[in-house]
Amino acid sequence: MNSRSDTVADRATSRFQHAYGQAPAGRWAAPGRVNLIGEHTDYNDGFVLPFALPLRTVVAATPQPTGSWTVCSELTGETVSFGTDEVTHPGRVTGWAAYVAGVVWALREAGHAVPGARLAVASDVPLGAGLSSSAALEAAVLAALVDLGGLDLPAERQPRLAQRAENRYVGAPTGIMDQSAVIRCRAGHALFLDCRTERVEHIPFDLDGADLAVLVIDSRAPHRHADGEYAARRASCEKAAGLLGVPALRDVPSAGLDETLARLPDDETRRRVRHVVTEDQRVLDTVALLRAGQVRRIGPLLTASHASMRDDFAITVAEVDLAVEAALTAGALGARMTGGGFGGCVLALVEADQSDRVGAAVTTAYADRAFAAPTVTTATPAPGATRLD
């Protein structure tokens, strides 16, 4: 039933009608995201600068009696049902449906009277590519339940709740960036987020107007040990903050960093801290350049961010390093891995008329190393989660 020409919203409706024999009461969409710069800074209370992608997850939904939820997805073809018991105890629903049950759990924990619902999910956000497919699912389900139940939960309070679903119900110790991006981003803008205060500023990021493009290159590298390594990075940052006597690494000034690092017990911890502190500064520098309309000049900051992730934070893999190198050699203004790491996507800032050339150069470099062919697309900043109809 999923013809390739159907839009994702059409597919959500057909999936809904097929599963439940009725039309949905409404459809809600949430995008994937890329992070322009600011990696592994969110759980250190620091700064990030993501933008939303035109790729979206759509949830079609209608109310059903309170205390029961049924969800089907085109991604697996499965239908999963759960009741109040499963949303009282984190972990009772597993797999992709845990993100749905987690949102119900987090809403109930926050004291909301969550409506029961029938839901159907369709998505263009690729799974496992580091483009926040999980946050897109959480945000689309959350938007649907908030509207269906008439719940009092404004958009600025939704990211924290979705993050709680992921941290506590699903069990992934992520920060606040992805949920904030997919809920709070605006078309044509990057989202400058202070992860401590959750204050946001929408920074104009007009690629077309500057004759620039952002390539998103899916390295297709399998995620190797991503979950355990992510948790390990987070733990070492928190331990380092404790050793330095600060609430979070965001509080370590970049001035005098070498003296601060000298107070740490080992080289690995020093490198982890150096990445986070210098990355926060790169976000601030990038924002300053974008505010001044100097988009081309952010290229070297992107490339420096990649070097820091590769050499100090140790979260890159051969495929992403190769994509960055090949893009830069072919003339990209800057390139870096985006997202949590250990695979996923690389973004490259290029002159618009160089997009094809840079994409082809990366593809050739992959073929030379016998890596699986990467997929290369261009990304323009899209809006965050919204009700479609």
User: What amino acid positions are annotated as catalytic residues?
Assistant: 178
Following DSSP, what letter does each residue of 49-114 receive, concatenated? -EEEEEEEEEEEEEEESTTEEEEEETTT--EEEEETTTTTSTTSS-TTHHHHHHHHHHHHHTT--P
The residues with which 349 forms a beta bridge, in sequence order, are: 214, 334
Q: Is residue 181 within the footprint of ligand GAF (CB under 6 A)?
A: no
Q: Is residue 342 within the footprint of ligand GAF (CB under 6 A)?
A: no
**H or E stretch including 19?**
helix 8-20
Q: How far is the CB of 177 from ligand GAF (least distance, A)?
A: 4
Q: How far is the CB of 153 from ligand GAF (least distance, A)?
A: 21
Query: Could you identify the residue written with the tokens 């992510």?
Result: 230
Task: Identify the residue among 31, 32, 115, 175 touching ligand GAF (CB under 6 A).
Answer: 175
Q: Taking contact as CB under 6 A, which single stretch among the options 38-46, 78-86, 236-244, 306-314 is the one that binds ligand GAF?
A: 38-46
Q: Is residue 86 within the footprint of ligand GAF (CB under 6 A)?
A: no
Q: Is residue 116 within the footprint of ligand GAF (CB under 6 A)?
A: no
Q: Which long-range contacts (CB under 8 A, 24 or more apart) does 202-207 make?
A: 203/49, 203/287, 203/290, 203/291, 204/290, 205/36, 205/51, 205/290, 205/295, 205/381, 206/295, 207/295, 207/352, 207/380, 207/381
Task: Identify the residue among 16, 28, 43, 96 touching ligand GAF (CB under 6 A).
Answer: 43
The residues with which 338 forms a beta bridge, in sequence order, are: 345
Q: Taking contact as CB under 6 A, which single stretch among the options 34-42, 57-65, 144-152, 243-251 is the one that binds ligand GAF?
A: 34-42
User: How many amino acids of this chain bind ligand GAF (CB under 6 A)?
Assistant: 10
Task: Identify the residue among 340, 343, 374, 381 touching ligand GAF (CB under 6 A).
Answer: 340
Q: How far is the CB of 154 from ligand GAF (least distance, A)?
A: 21
Q: Which is nearer to ligand GAF, 113 or 235 (CB)?
A: 235
Q: How far is the CB of 29 from ligand GAF (least distance, A)?
A: 20
Q: How far is the CB of 339 from ligand GAF (least distance, A)?
A: 5
Q: Which two tokens stand for residue 266?
A: 């080992």
Distance between CA 168 and CA 103 in Å, rounded? Answer: 10
Q: How far is the CB of 367 from ligand GAF (least distance, A)?
A: 29
Task: Identify the residue among 13, 14, 57, 174 touching ligand GAF (CB under 6 A).
Answer: 174
Distance between CA 63 and CA 144 in Å, rounded? Answer: 10
Q: Taking contact as CB under 6 A, which single stretch among the options 96-104, 118-126, 149-157, 171-179 is the one that binds ligand GAF?
A: 171-179
Task: Identify the residue among 11, 15, 27, 40 touching ligand GAF (CB under 6 A).
Answer: 40
Task: Identify the residue among 86, 138, 178, 218 touching ligand GAF (CB under 6 A).
Answer: 178
Q: Taking contact as CB under 6 A, which single stretch among the options 17-25, 40-48, 94-102, 213-221 is the one that binds ligand GAF?
A: 40-48
Helix axis angle for 355-368 and 318-329, nearest 10°, is 140
Q: How far is the CB of 344 from ligand GAF (least distance, A)?
A: 9
Name the residue among 187, 185, 159, 193 with its Cα closest to residue 49.
193
Q: Which is nearer to ligand GAF, 44 or 70 (CB)?
A: 44
Distance between CA 40 and CA 51 in Å, rounded? Answer: 16
Q: Taking contact as CB under 6 A, which single stretch among the options 36-44, 182-190, 220-228, 237-245 is the one that binds ligand GAF?
A: 36-44
Site for ligand GAF in 226-255 (CB under 6 A): none
Q: How far is the CB of 32 from ligand GAF (least distance, A)?
A: 11
Task: Identify the residue among 11, 16, 42, 343 touching ligand GAF (CB under 6 A).
Answer: 42
Q: What angle do CA 177, 271, 134 make, to 5 degrees?
A: 25
Q: Which two tokens stand for residue 79?
A: 């239908």
Q: Hey, which bits of the chain come out as E strands?
A: 26-35, 47-48, 50-64, 68-73, 79-83, 116-123, 189-194, 200-204, 212-218, 334-338, 345-351, 375-379, 386-387
Task: Identify the residue among 31, 159, 339, 384 touching ligand GAF (CB under 6 A).
Answer: 339
What order do you get walking across the sheet with 345-351 strand by strand?
334-338, 345-351, 212-218, 375-379
Q: Which two tokens stand for residue 322?
A: 């190769």
Hey, is 188 helix, strand or coil? coil
Q: Which two tokens stand for residue 158?
A: 């939704």
Q: Is residue 177 within the footprint of ligand GAF (CB under 6 A)?
A: yes
Binding site for ligand GAF (CB under 6 A): 39-40, 42-43, 174-175, 177-178, 339-340
